Amino acid sequence: MDLKALKGDNSDNIPGVPGVGEKTAVKLLNEYGSLRGVYEHINEISGVVKKRLEEGRGSAEMSYELAKILTDAPVQLDEVADLVIEPERIIAVLKKLEFNSLIRKFRNELKLGEDQNRLKNQEIKSIETGLSEDTSVQVVEGAVVAEKMFEIPEGMIVASDLKEKMHLSDELAEVILAGDRKIWDLEQADFLINPLKRTENTDNNQAMLRLEDPCERILAGKYTEAEQAEYAEQMKILSKMPKLYRILSDYDLPLIPVLYEMEKAGVLIDQDYFKGLKKEFTEKVTELEQKIYSVCGVNFNINSPIQLSKVLFEDLALPTKGIKKTTRGFSTGASELEKLEGQHPVIEMIKEYREVSKLLSTYILPLPELAGEDGRIHTTFTQNVTATGRLSSVNPNLQNIPVRSEDGKRIRTGFVAESGKVLVSADYAQFELRLAAALAGDQKLIESFAQNIDIHTKTAAEVFGIKMEDVSKAQRRAAKVINFGVLYGMSPKGLADSAEMNFYEAKQFIDDYFRVRKPIKDYLEKTLKQAREEGFVETYFGRRRPTPDVKSSNFIVRSAAERAAQNMPIQGTEADLMKRAMIRAYDLLKAKYHEEAKLILQVHDSLIIECTKGLEEAVSADLVQIMESVAPELPVKLKADVAIGVNWGEL
């Protein structure tokens, strides 16, 4: 649905977004997860793609609805529940309709019935863990049957987007934060069951949510038939999938009050500091514009791909060999400009202009405007955007502020602790690689982590067949790139570009790497096999992601799906452990430090706490202890690095 909503589908008369093709659509969905995610992060997208998305939003939303398979036909299943099934009559009808494949499937199901009827008692018990206490279970012809419909347990608080409703009702928030009543988020449960399914929340829906203000009804335990039916359907599914049920009950639901408190606390920004950045970056943009005009000999709109293309390839006559061509001329995208490096001084100027302009328009100008009356930015954390289970941050996205560039660090410097307080950050070191070693059972890698060996130097030594002390900086850099890149399906070209190698050196390095790290290669291949044969992959703890597109006939879609499938168990396990660490950190801070230490941000592999000066050393020790001991069941040692500062840039 999301792909068709963007690129359209001529065969089904689905228009999509005018000017957005399959390659762009796939790239956007890989980056942001869904149509909803694309529009939530629209300010991170630049150039003509952003313009097309903005202008075509109505068409995208209509296309999404057109592509959706409707499952709400007015069929009353309870009317046929007691009918006797006569296999031969069913087969006769299927023959008449020429549903030959269904006939074979139906006959196979009949043969499997007797074998499925032999479910073991312990399997039934695992199913019962997801049921309410007053519901008994029996097995009939291999199917789990409840004696009565799943009902919302008395006292449980059930709602869709429960965190949003907590922000609407202080009374509801107070009851949930007290922890005396169980909670159930219908939207989160639905996402967990199928993380590829997307529910579009329109402004009208949100307005109705506030207009109805159902919080009082929810607190009273008065639920509509639709809410009861949705809960019952979710419990019916999750009762047969105990690992998924535990993910919901142990991770996703307990995290809701944690995220609510983080959003409510917010993070303080220094308005005067941002005013200074605004003045500096505005002047820098103007200066770069004049330099570009000077070397090009003409004034033009640098942000216009058409005008820029004309200046570069017609006026300056830069070489076009290998440059992608569109219907409107030669492309001026970032990847194409890289091919022109060294051809003309203007190329570096344009790259710098784009970077400075993006920082100015995406962060420096809007961030101060987004601060509340308390001077703090209150981002929204969501659990139901990324199929891996990772958190995302919107309005604004604080997880996407550049971390490696010096200018990005300067923006983070504008996020500060209150007077009399400091910020404490704890960051998992080489988190994904450690989890990859654990999931793949790579004993050599696990032992290296246990001994605190520099893993990149160790990898380089093993790949090149030399001693660790003989590893050069370039060799270590190549090992570092591939150690992380291999988890994302890095190609020889990608390694060559990142590690200053030629293509053949990079290919040989990857081949040698997989010889040394054979368990990881075997694990990635095993994961891909599961995705193809079973239709899903899962994390160490059981969070699932369906993988329908690994069988796509479209090479681009299939390749992207294969990379996502191989990476999901690692990133998803990382997400599960971050949630576990956040819940434990929240509970400890609340019990031990009360209001003097609060969790305020989660960014990728790090947690950030704001605490009273004088408590930072104790808070740091507690945070490191929680994060490093969060998964005793894993065979690999986890490591968290801590930093303390008065602003985010110092962490």
Q: Give dist(CA 417, CA 609) in Å, integer.
A: 10
pLDDT at residue 568, as a whole number: 95
Percent of the chain past pLDDT 90, that is, above it, reads: 61
Q: How confident is the model at residue 99 (pLDDT cuts 50, 70, 90)?
A: confident
Q: Which of 49-63, 379-393, 604-618 has the lowest mean pLDDT?
A: 49-63
For the chain, what is the mean pLDDT?
Answer: 86
Q: Which of 14-23, 158-167, 299-308, 611-620 has the lowest mean pLDDT?
A: 14-23
For the chain, the domains span 2-67, 157-262, 269-374, 385-434+539-651, 443-516
**Fold held by 385-434+539-651:** Alpha-Beta Plaits (3.30.70)
pLDDT at residue 74, as a whole number: 54
pLDDT at residue 205, as a whole number: 42
Provide the CATH number for the domain formed by 269-374 in this structure: 1.20.1060.10
Give bridge partners of residue 425 from the DSSP assignment: 608, 643
**Sign of the dihedral through C-alpha 588, 594, 597, 602:** positive
Phi, psi for 223 (deg, rounded to 5): -110, 145
How far is C-alpha 131 from the chain's CA centre? 30
- pLDDT mean over 87-114: 68
- Does the pLDDT at position 291 exceed 80? yes
- Does the pLDDT at position 288 exceed 90? yes
Which conformational region is residue 141 in: left (phi greater than 0), alpha (psi within -120 to 50 degrees), or beta? left
- Does the pLDDT at position 147 exceed 50? no
Tell me the one-letter amino acid at 169: S
Percent of the chain past pLDDT 70, that is, above it, reads: 87
pLDDT at residue 489, as a whole number: 77
Q: What is the pTM of this model?
A: 0.75
487-497 pLDDT tens trace: 777 888 888 88
Looking only at the bridges linking them, the beta strands covering 421-428 and 606-612 are: antiparallel
In this structure, which CATH number among 1.10.150.20, 1.25.40.10, 3.30.465.10, 3.30.360.10 belongs to the domain 2-67? Answer: 1.10.150.20
pLDDT at residue 589, as a whole number: 97
Give bridge partners of residue 537 from the DSSP assignment: 545
pLDDT at residue 182, as a whole number: 95
- Does the pLDDT at position 571 exceed 60? yes
Show the DSSP H helices in 79-202 as ranges: 87-96, 100-116, 121-128, 162-168, 170-178, 186-193
- pLDDT mean over 58-85: 64
Structure tokens at 587: 């509970």
- pLDDT mean over 11-16: 77
113-137 pLDDT tens trace: 444 444 334 444 554 445 444 444 5
Q: What is the DSSP string of 480-524?
A: HHHHHHGGGT--HHHHHHHHT--HHHHHHHHHHHHHHTHHHHHHH
| Residue written as token pair 């159902």 | 214
Q: Give dist(CA 260, CA 176) in Å, integer.
A: 10
pLDDT at residue 93, as a whole number: 75
- Please check whether residue 590 is in contact with residue 568, taking contact to mean a CB–CB distance below 8 angstroms: no
- Does the pLDDT at position 79 exceed 50? no
Q: Please give the angle made by the CA atoms of 234, 235 and 238, to the nearest 5 degrees.
A: 85
Q: Give dist(CA 621, CA 278) in Å, integer.
A: 37
- Does the pLDDT at position 78 exceed 80? no
- Does the pLDDT at position 255 exceed 80? yes
Which of residues 89 and 112 earns the better pLDDT score?
89
Classify residue 23 as exposed, middle or buried by CB count within 10 Å of its CB (0-12, 13-18, 19+).
exposed
Which of 325-334, 401-410, 641-650 has maximum average pLDDT? Answer: 641-650
- Please check whether residue 145 is in contact with residue 139, taking contact to mean a CB–CB distance below 8 angstroms: yes
- Please check whether residue 417 is in contact with residue 643, taking contact to mean a CB–CB distance below 8 angstroms: no
Which of residues 422 and 201 earns the better pLDDT score?
422
pLDDT at residue 37, as a whole number: 83
Tell me the one-letter amino acid at 24: T
- pLDDT mean over 593-616: 96
For 581-618, letters b (16+ CB in 10 Å) and e give bbbbbbebbbeebeeebbbbbbbebbbbbbbbeebbee
> Which residues, 6+ apart, have CB-to-CB distance to 452 below 8 Å?
639
170-222 pLDDT tens trace: 999 999 999 999 999 999 999 999 998 754 443 344 433 333 457 888 999 88
Task: Give rounded-to-5 percent helix, strand, coil for the chain.
Answer: 60, 10, 30
440-488 pLDDT tens trace: 999 999 999 999 999 999 999 999 999 999 999 989 988 898 888 877 7
